[in-house]
Amino acid sequence: MEFKELDPILHSQLRLAVMSLLISVKEAEFTFLKEKTNATSGNLSVQISKLKEAGYIEIIKQFNNNYPQTICKITPEGIIAFENYVKALQSYMTL
Amino acid sequence: MKNDEIRMSEKESLELIASMINTAKNRVGETGTLYLLWGWLILFCCIVQFIAVHFFNYSNSYYIWFSTWILLIYQFFYIGKQQKFNKVKTYTGEINGFVWLVFFICLMLVIFIGTYLKRYEIINPMILVLYGMPTFLSGIILKFKSLIIGGICCWLLSILSVFIPGDYQLLLTAAAIIAGWIIPGYLLKKNYKKADNGI
């Protein structure tokens, strides 16, 4: 049986948690991701930047009532990568 | 979650995915406020118009319905304010919004067509049919049984309204509003408070 390689960008606890949250919603604020993952702002910031560099998520920075707001959204590439990651995991699990 | 480079087993990865998807999915976020505001206002309008027509034979009683425009204006501000505080936008929330927009457009068209063609007797039964549509669909979208039951009640009352004379149809609308919006509204509010305290 052929093993599919696990995407190193997704095979990390916090990045995978962020992607799993974003795949279920249309878009989410940075504070929502922070609250749900219990991560620190600094760490979360670094990890979402990595996801953005990989083209898996889109980050929109805007102002809401004079307060800066960071909105994260999964991209079509991100959805494909996530699906491939789950398929790869399943191929390991069915062993 | 502290270290992002913690190595996970395949099983742990799948568990993490499932738990995060559930966290996001369980956010119904429906407070029931709009169901209650609209429910009580329409109930009030129905009862006032019924009393005015049935007991006082006051033909201009339909003016009471203009009060709904005030609530409509308030609703625009309320939704705008809510959106500022919402940290997440879900697909279900978006679809649900469109369901209610379609309902509003259909409602306006039915009232316009019925009034223009002077087919007043058909307006109330058609409104009951329309009340059932967004109520039932919201129940399916939010997976909320009492809204589904409420929607079905509206449709059953619409059938009944065909056999009921004019002013008594207003009482059927009142019953539909209680079953479709007011009771589910309070249950949604209760659920929202419970979920909020649970976080």
Q: What are the pLDDT digits (tens) for B121-136?
A: 888 899 999 999 999 9
Do residue B20 and residue A24 have CB atoms under 8 angstroms apart? Answer: yes
Nearest CA in chain A to B5: A12
Q: Which of A16, A22, A69 to mutate to test the interface with B (most CBs of B within 10 A)?
A: A16
Nearest CA in chain B to A65: B84
Asked if the C-beta of A13 comes within 8 angstroms of chain B's C-beta atoms, the answer is: yes
pLDDT at position B12: 83
Domains of chain A: 13-89 (1.10.10.10)
Beta carbons within 10 angstroms of residue B53's beta carbon: 17
Domain boundaries, chain B: 30-82+93-198
Q: Which residue from A26, A40, A86 is facing B89, i.e. has the nearest CB?
A: A26
Q: What is the nearest CA distance from B1 to chain A, expressed in angstroms?
A: 5
Q: What is the nearest CA distance from A35 to chain B, expressed in angstroms?
A: 10
Q: Whole-number mean pLDDT of chain B?
A: 86
Between B155 and B65, where is the model more confident? Answer: B155
Q: What are the pLDDT digits (tens) for B72-120?
A: 898 888 887 777 777 888 888 888 889 999 999 999 999 999 999 988 8
pLDDT score of A2 more than 60: no
Question: Which residues are within 8 A (CB) of A21 and not within 5 positions of it... i.e. 6 or more apart?
Answer: A28, A32, A33, A36, A37, B20, B21, B23, B24
Torsion of CA A10, A15, A16, A17, to 10 degrees: 180
**Residues above pLDDT 70, as percent of chain B:** 91
